[in-house]
Chain A
């Protein structure tokens, strides 16, 4: 895929900012759902899009900005919910960056997304254990992790697939993905 001549830093900045805004909006909507573990991890969609359209560094940036702005909007930067969200974000983004070289031959975007959801949920359980007074009862949630990760990862991954296949038609990406 050829790069369009006008593709400069400003355009990339705008697109990454759009992804941050998308992630923030999804995060806000999702925080209205009362069940703590019933969340799909919709905000991960923005990170996944940044990763596949731009790269690992950009994915970390989009995730970090989303968590930072999200914590300012909903609660404080150091409240437990923000720390949980940060732990989950770092874990899932790292996992997806780590496995991204296997895309698209071994894992499709859906597979990468499920791995991200898995890392996200495991990190949140661990962080909740460390933050909430080391209550071991929290590990009784472990058997739910594969199911929740599968459901969330599938939804986010399929959404990402739909979005990416349309965006690529507009040459939205940074590194000629096809």
Chain B
């Protein structure tokens, strides 16, 4: 029985670590608006420039989303784990906040971003 960590193993592990680190690099500039979907239906596009509080009605209740200072985040949500609240404030185009239990999706989009995400 060969011991673990042959050269192939080490290369594979190194490759996977590089791949996951590359995800941390910023790839896109700040977004221009947030596209919010609730329960499968689009609520609309909300510009990130201003300040706004948005209530998204999902099957569990209302997810409160706030836009201020060019960022968007979930303030409060009726879901059990509050993962969407913990996902924090999003700035860059392409970033997404998803609340799976309450079926709310917030996508940050930019004007030059249509090739990657088609709404």
Contacts and interface: CB of A to CB of B under 8 A. Distances in A.
Interface of A: 34, 102, 104-111, 114-115, 118, 133, 135-137, 140, 142-144, 146-147, 149-150, 154, 157-158, 161, 164-165, 168, 177-178
Given A104-B1, A108-B6, A111-B6, 5 more contacts: A108-B3, A114-B9, A136-B117, A146-B19, A177-B1
Contacts of B16: 114, 118, 146-147, 149-150
Given A114-B9, A137-B105, A146-B16, A109 B81 contact: no
Contact of A164 (B1, B17, B23, B81): B1
B71 interface: no
Interface in B1-38: 1-9, 12-13, 16-17, 19-20, 22-23
B12 A107 contact: yes
Contact of A107 (B6, B17, B22): B6
A114 B13 contact: yes
Q: A-side binding surface: helix, strand, loop or mixed?
A: helix
A146 B20 contact: yes
Contacts of B1: 104, 161, 164-165, 168, 177-178
A161 B105 CA distance: 42
Nearest to B6: A108
Contact of B4 (A135, A136, A157): A157
- State which size class the interface on B falls in: 20 to 34
B98 interface: yes
Contacts of B8: 102, 106-108, 111
A105 to B, nearest CB: 7
Contacts of B95: 140
A147 B89 CA distance: 23
B13 A133 contact: no
Given A34-B81, A146-B19, A108 B105 contact: no
Contacts of B22: 143
A142 B16 CA distance: 12
B2, B19, B22: which has the most chain A beta carbons within 10 Å? B2
Contacts of A161: 1, 3-4
9 contacts: A34-B81, A108-B2, A114-B9, A114-B13, A137-B107, A146-B20, A147-B16, A147-B20, A149-B16
